[in-house]
A and B are shown apart, each in its own frame.
Chain A
C-alpha cells in the first residue's frame, strides 16, 4: 500500500514546480520568485536571504521577482502577515532541493558520492583538485523541470550564515537614489495620463455631465463616461488633472442616502440589525452564545464599552496603475497585493479569459491592507479600453484616495469580566460589533470587489457582505483572549448596514479587540490591587508570551519612576491572531491636562516572530506598526456629514507628524529553529492599549473611545475632575 503523500510545506503545496521558485541563470545569478509582493515590509530581501542560504550562494547574486501572473506562483494575496510562513517556507524547501539536485548532478559527473562535495557561492567542489563546477555551468538558464518533493531538509539553524543576520534591504538603494522604483514611476512608449472623477459620497450616482467643453480642451484625448463611471485621458498628466477639475465642476451627482450622525456612530452601530455568531476555544460558531450572568461568587465585576471609528489606510502615494490593451489582451502594472485575484476579478468584469490578462506587480506606496490599488487598476483598464494600443497611467488624486479607498471598519466592543476571590479572572464575556473587514476581490463571477464594476453599465454589483466565519478572520481576529481564563464567552455581531465601503486594514479586528482586552486587563489589575504586568503574567502559561511582556516591562524600567502627576507608563500584550508573532508594548506618556495633549515620550516594543530571517526587518515592522498605531490611536477618524465625507486630505484627516513621534526601542527575541511567525500586524493593538493604560496611570482617566484627540481627552479629564 502506497504511503499517504506528505503535504508539501508552505505555498509549495499548490505550486510545486521548482521552476516557479528558483532559476539558475547563465550569467551567474539566481532568480528567486515569490508570488507575494513587496509592500515595504522587506519581503524581497527576506526571500533572497532564505534562498541564498539554502543554495549556498552570496546574496549579491540573487535577483528577486515578485508576483506576476505570467511568471510566478499564485500565492493569492500578500496579507495576514503570512508571507514568511508560506512563501519563505516554500522557498526554503525549494532552494534546498535545487541545491541537492545540482550537487547530485556534480557528483555523477565527478563519480564521487554527494557527501564528498561542498558548495561555496554556487561553486561545487569535489575531493579532486580539478573537480570543480558551478551552478551556472550545470544549469545556466535551463529549467529544473520537476516538482518539489519536500524531502530535502533545509539547513539546521546553527549552520545559517545569511538568515538571521542584518542585511541591507535590496530595494532601498533604488529608493534612496531616486531611481524609478514604483509603479507610479513607470513610463512606457506612447503612455498617456488618465484621471477619475468621483463624488464625495460613496453612494451618489451621476445624474448628468456635459462633457463637450472638456473634450475640446487642448491635449484632452477622450472623456470616458460609462454609467456612473467618469474619467478622462489626456496627453499629459497636467492636462488630465485640469480636465478632471473641469469635469468635477460639470458633473451633477444624485445624492446618496444620508450618512449616520458621526457623533453618535457607536449608538448607531449598536442599534442596527446584526448577524450574530460566536466562538468556542477560538473557533468560529454560527451560534451566538447568550450572555450568562456573572458567577455568584464573583468578587468584582467590571463592564466597559470600547470603540474605534472608521480609519483610513492612507497611503502616502495615491493609488496608481498603468493599463494597456492590445489585440484583445490586457496588460496591467499594478501595486495590488494580489495580482492573481485581481486578474480573476478583471476577467469577470470584462468577461475575458484569464490567459488574456496579465497583471504584473510593481512596488507601490505602503498600503497596510486593501486600499485603492485594485480599484485604480480597473479604472486604468476602463480608460485604456477606449484607446486600444496606448498605455494609460492613472493615479488617483489625494481626495480620491481619502474618499474612495475601502476604510478600516468601525467597531464597538463590550467586555464584562469578573474577579474571583483569588484575585484572578473568573469570568470573561466579550461582545464585538463590527462592519466588514474582508472585502478584497473574490472569485464570484456574479459580483465584484472592484469599485468601478458597480458604476459601469452592465457591470457587476458589489460583493455580498457577511460576517467573518473563519476563525481569527475579520472581527473575530483576537476577539478570543490569549489568556487562561476559566470561563470565556465571545459573541460577534456583524453590523449589516455599511455607510462606507470597508475592507482589510492592518490588523483587522485585532486593533480594537486587543485595545479592549488589554484595557480591561488593566482595569481588572487595578481592581485587584495588582501590578498590571504581573497580573497579565499570572494568566499566561505560555513562556514565549511571558518573555515578551517581561522584556518590554524591564526595558521601560517599569515601576522605577517616582509617581509624577501627568506622567505614567502603560503596558499591553497580544499574540497576533493567537497564532502569529507575540508582542508586548510599553510606553511612557505625558498628559497636559489643560490642553488634553498626550505625548508619548518613549516606547518599547518586544516581539517574538519565531526564527528571525531578517531581524532588522522584524524590528522595522514592529516599530513601524507601533508608530502607525500611535497615529491611529491619538489622531485618526474618518469625518463625515450626512451628505458627504469631509476627510479629504491630510488637514481634514491628520496623521502623526515627526514632531509628535517618539523614539522607539525594539527588542526582537529570536527563536532559531522555531516556525516563522508573521509580525507586520503584531504591535498595533498592544500600542493602543498601552497608551490608554499610560494615560490612566498619569491621570486616573480611562480613554475607551478612539482616537484620543486633545478635545476629547480634555473633556474627559474635566468631567472626571468635576465628578471627583
Chain B
C-alpha cells in the first residue's frame, strides 16, 4: 500500500509516494535524485548510505521513509557546494582524502556529525566516530588528517 510522505531534505520539502517501509536510501536516490547516499550493504554494516536525520547520523539503507517523514534530513549535497564548500568538504579535498570515493559521502557525513558535537576531536575520537564506516581503498590515514583539518577550520 503506497502512501504519500512529506520529507524535508537539505532544507527543501518533498512529497513522495511510496510504501511506508521503503528504505529512505532509494527514495533519496531515485525519487528525489540525490546521488550521494550509496547502496553498499543494506544492513548498516558499511556506512556508504549515511545521512543526517534531525542532527544524528542515520543509515538510510534501513531507515524507512515512514520514520524519516517530518524530520530534517541532510545529505552530502546539503553540506556545501563547490563554490561554497562546507569545511569538511574543503578539508577532504585539501587532504585528497579519497581514492575511489564510493564511501566518501558517508564518511564525510559521520565527520560532520562528530564535529557538530565535538569541535576538537583527537584521532581516537575520530576513530570511534567513524567505526561504522568502511573504506576499502585504505584512505583512513588521510581521513584522520582531513577531519582534524576541518576541525581547525571550524574553530577559526
| Residues of A near any B CB (own CB < 8 A) | 39-42, 168-169, 171-173, 175-182, 184-185, 187, 236-238, 314-318, 363-366, 368, 395, 397-398, 616, 620, 623-628, 630-631, 649-651, 655-659, 661-664
Instruction: Choose from B34, B89, B102 the contact partner of A182 (Cβ within 8 Å).
Output: B102
B92: interface (CB < 8 Å): yes
Assembled-state Cα–Cα distance A86/B82 (Å): 33
B118: interface (CB < 8 Å): no
Instruction: Choose from A178, A180, A316, A651 the contact partner of B103 (Cβ within 8 Å).
Output: A316
Q: Is A178's CB under 8 angstroms from B123's CB?
A: no
Task: Using A368-B136, A659-B128 as known contacts, say yes or no to A177 and B76 having CB atoms under 8 A apart.
Answer: yes
Which residues on B sit within 8 Å (CB–CB) of A169? 96, 98
Residue pairs across A and B with Cβ atoms less than 8 A apart, 7 shown, are A172-B96, A185-B29, A316-B48, A317-B39, A366-B137, A398-B41, A656-B138
Q: Mark B67-92, 1 if CB is under 8 A from A, else 0.
A: 00000000111001110010001001
Which residues on B sit within 8 Å (CB–CB) of A659? 127-128, 131
Query: What's the least CB distance linking A670 to chain B, in Å?
Result: 17
Q: Is B142's CB under 8 angstroms from A175's CB?
A: no
Query: What's the least CB distance linking A27 to chain B, in Å?
Result: 20
Assembled-state Cα–Cα distance A237/B18 (Å): 12
Query: What's the least CB distance linking A712 to chain B, in Å?
Result: 22
Assembled-state Cα–Cα distance A628/B93 (Å): 21
Q: Is A316's CB under 8 angstroms from B102's CB?
A: yes
What residue in chain A is nearest B37 (Cβ atoms)? A178
B133: interface (CB < 8 Å): yes
Assembled-state Cα–Cα distance A318/B61 (Å): 14
Q: Is B40's CB under 8 angstroms from A317's CB?
A: yes
Instruction: Choose from A182, A184, A397, A620 the contact partner of B139 (Cβ within 8 Å).
Output: A620
Q: Is A173's CB under 8 angstroms from B105's CB?
A: no
Instruction: Choose from A41, A314, A398 the contact partner of B43 (Cβ within 8 Å).
Output: A398
Q: Is B140's CB under 8 angstroms from A40's CB?
A: no
Q: Is B140's CB under 8 angstroms from A177's CB?
A: no
B119: interface (CB < 8 Å): no
Query: What's the least CB distance linking A507 to chain B, in Å?
Result: 13
B55: interface (CB < 8 Å): no
Which residues on B sit within 8 Å (CB–CB) of A625? 138
Which residues on B sit within 8 Å (CB–CB) of A168? 93, 96
Q: Is B139's CB under 8 angstroms from A175's CB?
A: no
Assembled-state Cα–Cα distance A365/B46 (Å): 13
Q: Output the residue of B82, B96, B108, B126 with the most chain A CB within 10 A.
A: B96
Q: Is B102's CB under 8 angstroms from A317's CB?
A: yes
Q: Is B100's CB under 8 angstroms from A316's CB?
A: yes
Q: Is A623's CB under 8 angstroms from B46's CB?
A: no
Question: Which residues of B128-155 have CB atoms within 8 Å of chain A's CB atoms?
Answer: 128, 130-131, 133-144
What residue in chain B is nearest A182 (Cβ atoms)? B102
- Dominant SS at the B interface? loop
Assembled-state Cα–Cα distance A185/B89 (Å): 20
Which residues on A sit within 8 Å (CB–CB) of B100? 39-40, 316, 363-366
B36: interface (CB < 8 Å): yes
What residue in chain B is nearest A660 (Cβ atoms)? B127
Instruction: Choose from B41, B130, B138 the contact partner of A623 (Cβ within 8 Å).
Output: B138
Q: Is B102's CB under 8 angstroms from A366's CB?
A: yes
Assembled-state Cα–Cα distance A179/B104 (Å): 12
Q: Is B76's CB under 8 angstroms from A178's CB?
A: yes
Q: Is A236's CB under 8 angstroms from B30's CB?
A: yes
Q: Is A616's CB under 8 angstroms from B136's CB?
A: no
Query: What's the least CB distance linking A678 to chain B, in Å?
Result: 16
Q: Is A173's CB under 8 angstroms from B141's CB?
A: no
B4: interface (CB < 8 Å): no
Q: Is A176's CB under 8 angstroms from B142's CB?
A: no
Query: What's the least CB distance linking A170 to chain B, in Å?
Result: 11
Instruction: Choose from B34, B96, B133 the contact partner of A616 (Cβ within 8 Å).
Output: B96
Assembled-state Cα–Cα distance A314/B41 (Å): 11
Q: Mark B14-46, 1 if CB is under 8 A from A, else 0.
A: 000011001100100110011110111111011
Q: Is B42's CB under 8 angstroms from A397's CB?
A: yes
Assembled-state Cα–Cα distance A626/B137 (Å): 10
Q: Is B40's CB under 8 angstroms from A316's CB?
A: yes
Q: Is A178's CB under 8 angstroms from B141's CB?
A: no
Which residues on B sit within 8 Å (CB–CB) of A236? 26, 30
Instruction: Choose from B89, B96, B123, B134 the contact partner of A316 (Cβ within 8 Å).
Output: B134
Assembled-state Cα–Cα distance A658/B141 (Å): 9
What residue in chain A is nearest B77 (Cβ atoms)? A178
- 10 extra interface residue pairs, beta carbon distance < 8 Å, beyond A315-B136, A318-B39: A177-B77, A177-B81, A236-B30, A316-B38, A317-B48, A364-B100, A366-B102, A398-B40, A658-B130, A658-B143
Q: Is B48's CB under 8 angstroms from A398's CB?
A: no
Which residues on A sit within 8 Å (CB–CB) of B41? 398, 649-650
Q: Is B85's CB under 8 angstroms from A177's CB?
A: yes
Assembled-state Cα–Cα distance A366/B19 (Å): 33
Q: Is B130's CB under 8 angstroms from A628's CB?
A: no
Which residues on A sit within 8 Å (CB–CB) of B96? 168-169, 172, 616, 620
Query: What's the least CB distance linking B112 to chain A, in Å?
Result: 12
Which residues on B sit within 8 Å (CB–CB) of A180? 35
Q: Is A175's CB under 8 angstroms from B101's CB?
A: yes
Which residues on A sit within 8 Å (CB–CB) of B141? 623, 627, 661-664
Q: Is A178's CB under 8 angstroms from B102's CB?
A: no
Which residues on A sit within 8 Å (CB–CB) of B131? 657-659
Which residues on A sit within 8 Å (CB–CB) of B138? 623-628, 630-631, 656
> Closest 3 CB pairs between A and B?
A627-B138, A40-B100, A178-B36
Q: Output the residue of B89, B105, B136 with the most chain A CB within 10 A.
A: B136
Instruction: Choose from A171, A172, A314, A630 the contact partner of B136 (Cβ within 8 Å).
Output: A314
Q: Is B26's CB under 8 angstroms from A650's CB?
A: no
What residue in chain A is nearest B40 (Cβ atoms)? A316
What residue in chain B is nearest A367 (Cβ atoms)? B100
Query: What's the least CB distance linking A689 to chain B, in Å?
Result: 17
